[in-house]
Structure 1
């Protein structure tokens, strides 16, 4: 009988990423992913709804982001609450140990239209979640929406900068610069 092994979602994501790099997303099956990970198909579907989702487990990111927004001081401006949320997410998810995996993941996603679409949908979900978290803090809907979209833009810029192999700063440090850059934009009038 097979012995239970820990970290199934991470093992499945690693196996999927390797296969997507080797064979392409469209040519990889769930069975191949589970074989590579040393798990069963039922284990796969216990954690993911389909093979698109295997690279998009954003629960840790979402949880840290929303906890950070909720935990910001009551007097914090909405953008500062979002900055705190993304800082918490950076500490939890965007660690030096995960940088190589996330860079490889980004490369696979950029080559695969179906995965780019999934990435965009996940980003929309994060924006909606931020809007809700900001509204719970008493931020009016329009302000919450604008701040969430700007926060997501700063996050995307920071993520791209962090994935650059020449980057040496931590994700939270890079994010602070991106937030400052986004805040400094003067729109023509």
Structure 2
């Protein structure tokens, strides 16, 4: 096993998702993931504190991209327009591997209560990052929180459509997340 071979983090995630699909999350060990990824257990733990964190890989980066997009939105942008800028920025960073793994990760999460709890925490973290970015723009906290929650829901819905849809090389994630945000904006207007 190569100790410092490049791409270890990505190999770990791919190996884990494959094993979760084959054996189930609860029946997959860190040792099995490390072996499949061609690394040592200590290398695994240098990248992830435990196997549960595998499926939240990239959450910090995603939160940062969403917040940066919101911060860089034009000063005249409404809260939802700023959220759309965040969604667009984050969506452009999603690679084909994200699209391929999406349905498999969703299946692993659906089959494990522990992973469902972790997914909820991930969504809370994304919403918090967007809320902070909106408040920093001067948006009142209640409005910022609501816009951020709509942003998280739009990202989830758009990602699901994108990752489960037909594969087209020219098909990017951004149009799906922005369409989901527009749909949610229209739905919220009908609440009365």
Partner of 1:180: 182
Gaps of 5+ in 1: none
8 Å CA contact 2:162, 2:173 repeated in 1: yes
Identify the residue that residue 54 of structure 1 maps to in structure 2: 54
Give the deviation of 1:166 after TM superposition.
3.2
Report the alpha carbon displacement of residue 187 of structure 1 after superposing the two structures with TM. 3.0
Describe the superposition over 1:2-34 as per-residue Cα deviations: whole angstroms up to 9, x where unpaired. 452111111110111111111111111111111
Which blocks of at least 5 consecutive residues in structure 2 are unaligned?
none
Structure 2 residue matching 1:119: 3-state secondary structure: helix
CA offset digits 1:42-70 (Å, max 9, x no partner):
21111111110012111221221111111
2:91 corresponds in structure 1 to 90
- What TM-score results when the alignment is normalised by the length of structure 2? 0.91
Contact 1:60 1:92 survives alignment (8 Å):
no
1:166 aligns to 2:166 (yes or no)? yes
CA distance in 2, matches of 1:117, 1:3: 32
> Given the superposition, is the C-alpha separation of residues 3 and 151 from structure 1 closer, same or farther in structure 2, using an over 3 Å criterion?
closer
Contact kept, 8 Å, 2:63 with 2:130, in 1: the verdict is no
CA contact (8 A) 2:2 2:39 kept: no
Q: CA deviation at 1:97?
A: 4.0
Between the aligned partners of 1:20 and 1:97, the Cα distance in structure 2 is 17
Shift of 1:163: 2.1
Tell me, yes or no, if structure 1 residue 43 matches structure 2 residue 46. no
- Partner secondary structure for residue 138 of structure 1: coil
Paired position in structure 1 for 2:116: 116
> How far is the alpha carbon of 1:145 from its aligned partner?
0.7
Distance verdict in 2 for CA 1:188–1:106, change over 3 Å: closer
CA RMSD of aligned residues (A): 1.7
Give the structure 1 partner of residue 149 of structure 2: 149
For 1:167 and 1:44, the matched residues in 2 are separated by 31
